[in-house]
Copies of this chain bind each other. A is one copy, B any other.
């Protein structure tokens, strides 16, 4: 049997957010590869081998998946959210690129990416439509880029009056940078600008915290939080807790 490698997005946590396309790939798999908490979401069954690995070994995991697919297995790499948004798809393709000269057979592999619901869009849905106009997605971690590039992109996003979604705002190893991020945003935007902290979106533990930028503090975010920032028109609809970014910006003038 010809091997396949499918990189599948499991969505942000709620099993009802997994598409039939993703579930079909999981149901046909002989081997599931992924970070421990995501592999835990897959139901064990006869004929299916689960290969769970620790965080920060994305390239090793990807090589393992490529090798098993080459051996003829039906391999599924699971990712949370969407595999193409700060997740496993780019890692698999980097491993492929690094190894393709030594393993020319990898070029003929059937590799597919199955999109999923990414946390930023689940968070947006959970509080209204704060990303209803042009927006940016920024990974705030400086594991794979200098913090100067995070700052550069934050300033361009703010000056472009984009709404924003932030992944990985804060972790134990990066306790202070999110404070710097808030300071940069406050230099560029007004204190009344909306910021939303969406924790554990789509799960039973979901918590939505809607704030003004002027009142936001770093401790409002942790590793399970996606942070959304509105554009200049984003607001809470009076009489509700719905955050909306109007579709129209016809009154925009260059500053």
List residues of chain A with CB under 8 Å of any chain B CB. 11, 14-21, 24, 82-86, 89-91, 93-94, 96-97, 100, 104, 107, 111, 113-118, 121-122, 124-126, 128-139, 144-146, 148-149, 152-153, 155-157, 159-162, 237-240, 242, 244-250, 252, 254
CB neighbours (8 Å) of A132 from chain B are 84-86, 89-90, 93
The chain B residue with its CB closest to the CB of A89 is: B129
Q: Copy number of this protein in the oligomer?
A: 2
Would B149 and A153 count as touching, CB distance under 8 A?
no
| Known A93-B129, A146-B250; further 8 A-B contacts with Cβ < 8 A | A14-B21, A83-B129, A84-B132, A100-B240, A107-B240, A115-B117, A131-B137, A152-B161
Q: Tell whether, in the assembled complex, residue B239 and residue A100 are in contact, meaning their CB atoms are under 8 Å apart.
A: yes
Contact in complex: A85, B131 (CB < 8 Å): yes
Q: Which of chain B's residues have a CB closer than 8 A to the CB of A160?
A: 136, 152-153, 155-157, 160
